Amino acid sequence: MSVEAPYPELDELLTLVGQAGHRLSEIDATEGAAGNISVYMGWPLDPRRRFPQTETLELPTPLPELAGKSFLVTGSGRRLREIIEDPAANLGVVVVDVGGRTGQLYTSPRRLFARLTSEFNSHLAVHRDQVALTGTNFHAVIHAQPPHLTYLSHIARYQDLKYLSRHLLRWQPELIVNLPEGIGYVPFLIPGSPELESATVQALRVHRVVVWAKHGVMARSDMSVKRASDRIEYAETAAAYEYRNLLNQEQAEGLTDEEIHSICNAFNVKQSIF
Ligand SMILES: [Zn+2]
């Protein structure tokens, strides 16, 4: 998928990032300053009206093929729930320089952060990989910490891709339709590390949302920022059902394989989980 011209204005994207942060906060997935959002925009953009301050930034991953392209990124330590109150103060725009080793970071005079998110390396690596694979001109990535999904990732038997998806996607018909590849799983790795970055890139090639064990999730969309946050919300709702069922001595059956097959037939969903 790609976004077609006329491309969204920067102000529209600022509002959408604010709305996604607000919704993720409503589902308790952004305690304190947890979580971060970034958006890749593959069209020419001049951010200086909203972000007149400029500085040169060394990129965590060289991106020579994305010279001239832009990223909208949350600041380190900012609260996702507060972005909506003043998006420009909580976000920066990075335009990649020729050669791809550095970028220009554009910020607002009201800027409330010293650096961009500490997960910027994983965000950039995922954007770069998806742009290379699909040629998309738009890509949104969100990290959040939804509590039920994260809790389940502490239990050994959910630390298995097939088990995790089979048990979570059985609770609502929408789940297999929205997450036909299932939910990805990345074992615990140090936040911000190169190991987490490369494992996340691999997992997001197959899945649209992946669990970072004992930490949270990362989701992506090549259609909209809110589509990425919807994916987190669907996966977290599934995990909340699963958690309730564990508390209730696993009395519920969930949708059967047969019922899920009939949903997939009706909505033309291709999947290999059930
Ligand atoms: Zn985190």
* Separation of CA 227 and ligand 1 centre (Å): 20
* Separation of CA 246 and ligand 1 centre (Å): 25
- From CA 211, how far away is CA 144, in angstroms rounded? 10
Residue 2's pLDDT is: 85
* Separation of CA 192 and ligand 1 centre (Å): 9
* Separation of CA 145 and ligand 1 centre (Å): 6
* Separation of CA 6 and ligand 1 centre (Å): 34
Residue 186's pLDDT is: 98
Buried b (16+ CB within 10 A) or exposed e, 236-262: bbbbbbbbebeeeeeeeebbeeeebee
Tally of residues, the chain: 274
* Separation of CA 5 and ligand 1 centre (Å): 34
What is the CB neighbour count within 10 angstroms for residue 272?
Answer: 9
* Separation of CA 78 and ligand 1 centre (Å): 12
* Separation of CA 31 and ligand 1 centre (Å): 10
* Separation of CA 194 and ligand 1 centre (Å): 15
* Separation of CA 119 and ligand 1 centre (Å): 8
Structural Rg of the chain based on CA atoms: 19
* Separation of CA 143 and ligand 1 centre (Å): 7
* Separation of CA 120 and ligand 1 centre (Å): 12
Q: Identify the segments of the chain with pLDDT beneath 50.
A: none
Instruction: Look up residue 29 and give its amino acid.
Output: A
* Separation of CA 215 and ligand 1 centre (Å): 6
Three-state secondary-structure class, residue 119:
coil
Beta strands in the chain (DSSP E): 36-41, 53-58, 70-74, 91-96, 102-107, 138-144, 184-186, 209-212, 216-221
* Separation of CA 266 and ligand 1 centre (Å): 37
